[in-house]
Amino acid sequence: MVSNKYFVIFSILSFLFSFSQERDTINFEDDYQIKIFVGTGALYNPNYNINSYLEKNGIVALNSVEINFTTGLNFYNEILDIDLGYEMFAGGNSNEITKYRTISNGVKLRAHYVFLNTSKVGLGAGFNIGYNKRKLALFWKDYNVDFENLESGINGNQLTMFIEKAFLGPSVSFKIKDVGRRHQQTKFTLAYEFALNNKEWESDFFNLTNTIRETNSRQIILNVTFGL
């Protein structure tokens, strides 16, 4: 896994070097444009370390797939296409005794060198880098509360934790240009990201012991965004 990280970092540095060799051919002040974008998509993460601990306690495991929403600004010209904005992921599942909900909020930068650019489409390659904070809320079903006899220090049927991660990885994009009267753009982006830090799950409400560290996290993200 470490060798894969070095390979990805080397590839991204090569991309930045190649771009630096061509940047003087474009006058950015005259040629770049800005659009607001909104989009949706999905995330696939097959390797949550917390799942083995949840399952051995009869708690529903986290799904590998989450839905995605994103919005922000798209800066682009003939050779460069950059998205900078907000990104959210959400998921959930349940079994006979428990259920969970996850929501992740963060920022994401997608930078692509456009190596194929026509009047109708553009094809680019580059990298994603981002940061997010994922909240996990676990619930136990059929939990009874007696308001005549509330327990001291009651925690209820919910356990809430969070984890903060930074991700980096290569990505490719395919953009369809100038659609409709307002010249909207549709862009498909596929990325493979790995975590830059191996953080552990934390809680604002509990003192956790035997905490779980998410190591070697990696994820595949497919987005479709619409430039308005």
Report percent pLDDT > 70 for the chain.
79
Q: What is the pLDDT confidence band of residue 170, given thresholds at 50, 70 and 90?
A: very high
pLDDT in tens, 61-73: 999 999 999 999 9
The tokens for 184 are 């909207």
CATH numbers and ranges of domains, the chain: 2-21+37-142+155-227 (2.40.160)
For residue 193, pLDDT beyond 90: yes
Average pLDDT over residues 75-104: 94
More confident call, 38 vs 204: 38
**Are the C-beta atoms of residues 141 and 98 closer than 8 Å to each other?**
yes
Which of the four pLDDT bands, split at 50, 70 and 90, describes residue 119?
Answer: confident
* Gap between the Cα atoms of 96 and 91, Å rounded: 18
Q: For the segment 3-44, what is each residue's pLDDT rounded down to a tens digit?
A: 555 555 555 555 555 554 555 544 545 578 899 999 999 999
Average pLDDT, the chain: 85
Give dist(CA 225, CA 128) in Å, integer.
15
pLDDT given at position 104: 97
Return d(Cα 112, Cα 102) in angstroms, integer.
30
β pairing state of 33-44 and 65-76: antiparallel
